[in-house]
Structure 1
Amino acid sequence: MPHPIPGGPAMTRRTALALGGVGLLTATLAACARGTDTRPSAPGTVTLNSDNPTWGPGYDAASAVLEARIGYRITSRSIASVANYNQIIRMTAQTNSTTDLIKWTNGYRLQDIARADILTDLNEVWDDAIGRGWVDPAQRESFSYEGKAYGVPLYKSYYAVFYSKRAFAENGIEVPTTFDGLMGVAQTLKDAGITPFLAPGATTWESEIWFMQLLASIDPDYYAAVTTDKASYVDDPAREAMDVWSGMYADGFFSAPDVTSNDLPGLVSEGRFGMMLYGTWFANTLLAAGLTDDDIGFFRVPPRASSTAPAVLVESGSLSVPVKAHRRGAAVDVARNWLATDVQEAWVGFLGDTSPNPAALPKSDLVKDLAADIAASKPTELIRYWEASPTPLVEGNVQDLGSFMVTPTKAHGESTLRSMEARARTEWKIWDAA
């Protein structure tokens, strides 16, 4: 689910062509010899390429239900390196070395390969899933390009605040319902000697988390506009977001830049953890580390102003079918049934996360309660920044945001926005011309 920043820019269709298709194809096919096959898989199975080796048991659980529904199971093949995986999929999906299904992302990263004409149109699959109430129709746009859907949601995660129930109880803190209240909680925790916010990301994709959340809390419409080239990064909402972020650093609300999300379980047990804004997919990691629903809870970051509509950031992967899939018809049938409630119950039972299908919930009350809150309050759902704009633009901007986290002054915030805007002018021209 998370996507670390690779050593260089992610491979795009433009850079693949620039590097020379034959040499790159040879290298990538060699790198994925164990992940793909030029022959169809065993009868009754469809193959899936994934970049998450730990999800095998989850695919097995979902496959048991799929087999009963349609007679096919998923055989998953994993490539652990995200950078290698991206390159391999871009090349093998155009050849007979492709798997029947691929795990990808949504948004512009999906559009980038969809416009290369290597994925199957799944509009009919979406029509069926929407008609059965298996998915929110609003999600369709982020899986589509020029009116055609090229994937279905593989998973769905929200970005919300993990908090220490112990730290809150010992300091008489209630879950905040306003942004000012959230800042008040942070100050109370700091005064008690507890780090208010664990904030990883100075050198990873995670540097986007607070930036995207502050934009969403200040003006959800602006967030949607700036990520689709309809607004500027130097407009007032972005300046306000950077000023608030810088001010939170000046107030001592964030952890040191070298602290990571992996430190959270230990900090909870030591009573030195207050809150962390993160994806709900991380809940299962914490529960596996020995924490329980009694240790941690979730709440959404409130809007900065009472007049602003609430919004929540959403991360989702894509389950897509290459045009050259060996068992293309069966793969489409798997995609058609992937969002069925019984399949999703088995899947999220493994993930411990929310589902694209609102009727499928994991066992943990930690995530169930957040899902119930979102279902009741119906905040505007915004696509995560990582997928919300063209890849080179996002990855360059994320590196700028990481630099800001190391030196989070107001002046650096202003120069960061200018750099992001300059990059946006360049990358949007490249995207539009491709």
Structure 2
Amino acid sequence: MRRRSFLGAVGALGLAGATSACAGPETIPGDALQFFNDAASWEPGYLAAGDVLRERTGWGLSPQTIPNASSYEQVIRSLLQTKNPPDLVKWGSGYRMRDLARAGSLAELSSAWDASVAAGWLDDAMREDFTYQGGIYGMPLIQGYYVMFYNVEVFGRLGLEAPTTWDDFLAVCHALKNDGVTPIGTTQMNIWPVANWFSMLAAAYDAPWYRALCRNEASFLDDQAIGFMELWQDMIRQGLHTSADSVGDNFPSMLASGQIGMQPTPVSWSTQSMELAGMESGSGFDAFLLPAVQAPAPTVVTEIAGLVVPDRSRHLAEATEAMASWLAPDVQQPWSDFLNGSSANLQVTWSDPVSQRLQDMIRDDGVDVVNRYWENSPPPLVVGVTQDLGGFMADPSDPRGVLESLQRKAESEWSYWQEATR
């Protein structure tokens, strides 16, 4: 079953029907691994990388897409319990991957990981993001860094420069607002964008506290949490953000037209949307790291999505072998070129100059890097936290009450996670 047929099955049959309608071996090309993902627009990139992967291993990729994030997670979790799961799956790193690994649903990929590190294709510092109880259960599909994109023409017209301190950043925000431009495009729609801005702002406010919070070594009732929420509340009340019900897909065109001045989003693949909105890299849009509120140097949030192999895959050995070649430069270059930059292999050049400049700066200057919240705590907790924070974005009147709710969720979900993983 190809992508369109599968999507029709999802809509017509519902989740149960979709899982039973999974493609059989005879409908997948004989030299391709069935690869489920949630990014339909990325299919040409998957196929281009798959063509090179086939030359190296004899196995390419057969992408099948479920574009709705909520449906995607439900379908994948159900398929992993069947006798006929996909060969490869796009999935989150960190706790999202560990959540599948602890259920015994994933194949161990330590051999592919170690081979990639030995070849110089992979920074072993990422190991923790794909490790569960000593085993490695995924390989990096993409890596991006959350930065502040801005409209170069608007900044130039107002005499603004990319800020390097928090006071400068607030000054830029107020200059934009005084000119009738909403400074920052953020939204609570679809939940996960809340995690993006929460991660960026919390890491900018106090990176050590944010990192400890994600390890259950800090509390949502700490002084840092209260100060952070009061800062966010003040920014919302001053009109520095778009309305909470804004549609995030509209932000690139809003940035291009000058309706918003800045958009927090990943450097690399997000540049595609800006180019489609009519902006050119460097002259139409540029980007900077969000400055730290109190620390002398910024902290940048990273998003690392992964490839995982279901342990019941019909082509388990072949998929594992393919993963050992996935990060090879000749495989990664067409994939990274398609997304304007995304590869976790630092030998692979990112084609977008803004993205490459910031990647070089992050690496060469030793910028502190932390993981996005969406992957950085147990998934049920992350969903609950982002729902509450989405409500706060719509009504920021009671930050203390929101934090109390978040801490109750944290105590409950961390207790469950620790009990379930003993």
Q: TM-score under structure 1 normalisation?
A: 0.89
Retained in 2: the 8 A contact 1:35–1:79? Answer: no
Match of 1:399 in 2: 387
Amino acid at match of 2:294: A
Partner of 1:295: 284
5+ residue gaps, structure 1, are: 1-25
Query: Number of paired residues?
Result: 406
- Counterpart of 2:400? 414
- Alignment of 1:372 with 2:360, yes or no, is yes
When residues 211 and 269 of structure 1 are mapped into structure 2, their CA distance, relative to the original with a 3 A threshold, is closer
Judged with a 3 Å threshold, the aligned counterparts in structure 2 of structure 1 residues 110 and 306 are, in CA distance, closer, same or farther, namely: closer
Note the C-alpha offset of 1:152: 0.4
The answer to which of 337-346 and 268-277 deviates more is 268-277
* Kept after mapping to 2: 8 A contact 1:156/1:355: yes
Q: Could you say if the C-alpha distance between residues 104 and 268 of structure 1 is closer, same or farther in structure 2, counting changes exceeding 3 Å?
A: closer
Q: Structure 1 271/113 Cα, relative in aligned 2: closer, same or farther at 3 Å?
A: closer
Match for residue 327 of structure 1?
315
CA distance in 1, matches of 2:198, 2:177: 22
Deviation at 1:128, TM superposition (A): 1.5
Instruction: Tell me the distance in 1 between the aligned counterparts of 2:284 and 2:104.
Output: 48
Contact 2:189 2:246 in 1 (8 A): no
Which residue is 1:79 aligned to? Answer: 66
Q: Residue 304 of structure 1 aligns to which amino acid in structure 2?
A: V
Partner amino acid, structure 2, of 1:354: S
Q: 1:428 to 1:257 in 2, by over 3 A?
A: same
Q: Which residue of 1 aligns with 2:112?
A: 125
1:384 to 369, 372, 382: 372
Q: CA contact under 8 A between 1:202 and 1:405: conserved in structure 2?
A: no
User: Match for residue 424 of structure 1?
Assistant: 410
Q: Distance in 2 between matches of 1:50 and 1:265?
A: 23
Hey, what's the Cα distance between the residues in 1 that align with 2:256 and 2:76?
41
- Checking the alignment, whether the CA contact within 8 Å between 1:35 and 1:77 is kept in structure 2 is no
| SS, match of residue 252 in structure 1 | coil
Deviation at 1:233, TM superposition (A): 0.7
Q: Greater CA deviation, 393-402 or 190-199?
A: 190-199
Q: 1:217: how far off? A: 1.3
Residue 279 of structure 1 aligns to a residue whose secondary structure is: strand
Query: Which residue of structure 2 lines up, in the alignment, with residue 36 of structure 1?
Result: 23
How many angstroms does 1:421 deviate by?
Answer: 0.3
1:228 matches 2:215: yes
Task: Decide whether the 8 Å contact of 1:37 with 1:99 is kept in 2.
Answer: no
3-state SS in 1 of match to 2:286: strand
Residue in 2 aligned with 1:178?
165
| SS of alignment partner, residue 317 of structure 1 | strand
Q: Deviations over 1:156-204 (max 9, x none)?
A: 1211101010111111111111111111111111222221111222563
**1:187·1:196 contact (CA, 8 Å) conserved in 2?**
yes
Output the CA distance in 1 between the equivalents of 2:355 and 2:177.
27
Q: Which amino acid aligns with 2:158?
A: N
Q: How far apart in 2 are the matches of 1:40 and 1:147?
A: 36
2:73 and 2:180 mapped to 1: Cα distance?
A: 43
Query: Which amino acid counterpart does residue 399 of structure 2 have in structure 1?
Result: G
8 Å contact 1:106–1:143 — kept in the other structure?
A: yes
Asked if 2 retains the 8 angstrom alpha-carbon contact of 1:125 and 1:335, the reply is yes
What is the RMSD computed on CA atoms of the aligned residues?
1.9
Contact 2:150–2:255 (8 Å) recurs in 1: no
For residue 315 of structure 1, the aligned residue among 294, 299, 303 is 303
Is contact 1:35-1:49 (8 Å) kept?
A: no
Once the two structures are TM-superposed, the CA of residue 367 in structure 1 deviates from its matched residue by 1.5
Who is 2:257 aligned against?
270
Does the 8 Å CA contact 2:341/2:351 hold for their aligned counterparts?
Answer: no
Asked whether the equivalents of residues 354 and 361 of structure 1 are also in contact (C-alpha less than 8 Å), the reply is: no
Kept in 1: contact 2:186–2:242 (CA 8 A): yes
Instruction: Indicate the residue corresponding to 1:50 in structure 2.
Output: 37
Check 1:405–1:203 CA distance in 2 against 1; reply closer, same or farther (3 A cut).
Answer: farther
Return the alpha-carbon distance in structure 2 between the equivalents of residues 136 and 315 of structure 1. Answer: 15
TM-score by length of 2: 0.91
Q: Look up the SS of the partner of 2:270 in the other structure.
A: helix
Within the candidate set 217, 221, 233, 1:246 is matched to 233
Q: Deviations over 1:202-232 (max 9, x none)?
A: 5632122332212211222221211121111
Matched, 1:350 2:338: yes
C-alpha distance 363-102 of structure 1, shift in aligned 2 (>3 A): same
Give the conservation status (yes or no) of the 8 Å contact 1:46–1:75. Answer: yes
Structure 1 segments, 4+ long, off by >6 Å, are none
Q: Which runs of 5+ in 2 are unaligned?
A: 1-12
- Cα distance in 2, alignment partners of residues 122 and 105 from structure 1: 15
